[in-house]
């Protein structure tokens, strides 16, 4: 799913509207802006709340991403705040959770508050770390 998002191949409304009804291009979450990949995952108010939580939990001063390129640059960055592996794990859980929320709103008309989605991301990451706790690379991640 992350790979499809990176390639901008997910069926966001900005893409699907070019295939049919061009009036249906508003974001499924905020229903205000055009639902492009960058809006949905980085700039939608809902996603921004989640990224503020996620960057803080990783140990950074809270910040937001304005472009997918900046987001990818941060993902590949080597710094002393968090490891690249942990950052990739968190980013994949976050992108998956935002896409899940978008689809749940679109197909089931059910919305989840951003605070609940943040807890879900935390749980997803903890479970992924626990499943790999025997691997040296993941040994200290739970502390981080």
Which residues make up the interface to Zn ion (CB under 5 A)?
27, 29-30, 44
Tell me which long-range contacts 102-111 makes (C-beta under 8 A, separation of at least 24).
102/28, 102/29, 102/35, 102/40, 103/28, 105/28, 105/29, 106/28, 111/29
* CB nearer Zn ion, residue 35 or residue 138: 35
Task: Provide, rounded to whole angstroms, the least separation between the CB of residue 27 and Zn ion.
Answer: 3
Q: How far, rounded to the nearest angstrom, does the alpha carbon of residue 122 sit from its chain's CA centroid?
A: 12
Shortest distance, position 75 Cβ to Zn ion, whole Å: 22
Nearer to Zn ion, 44 or 89 (CB): 44
As measured in angstroms, the least distance from the Cβ of 44 to Zn ion is 3
Length of the chain: 144
Cβ-based nearer residue to Zn ion, 27 or 118: 27
């Amino acid at each position: 799913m992350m790979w499809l998002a990176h390639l901008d191949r997910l069926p966001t409304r900005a893409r699907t509207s070019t295939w049919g009804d061009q009036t249906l291009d508003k974001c499924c979450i905020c229903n205000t802006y055009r639902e492009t990949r960058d809006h949905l995952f980085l700039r939608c108010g809902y996603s921004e709340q989640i990224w503020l939580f996620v960057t803080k939990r990783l140990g950074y001063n809270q910040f937001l991403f304005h472009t997918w390129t900046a987001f990818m640059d941060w993902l590949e960055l080597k710094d002393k705040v968090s490891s690249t592996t942990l950052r990739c794990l968190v980013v994949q859980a976050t992108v998956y959770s935002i896409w899940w929320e978008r689809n749940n709103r679109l197909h089931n008309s059910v919305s989840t508050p951003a605070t609940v989605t943040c807890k879900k991301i935390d749980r997803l990451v903890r479970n992924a770390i626990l499943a790999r706790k025997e691997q040296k690379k993941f040994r200290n991640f739970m502390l981080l």
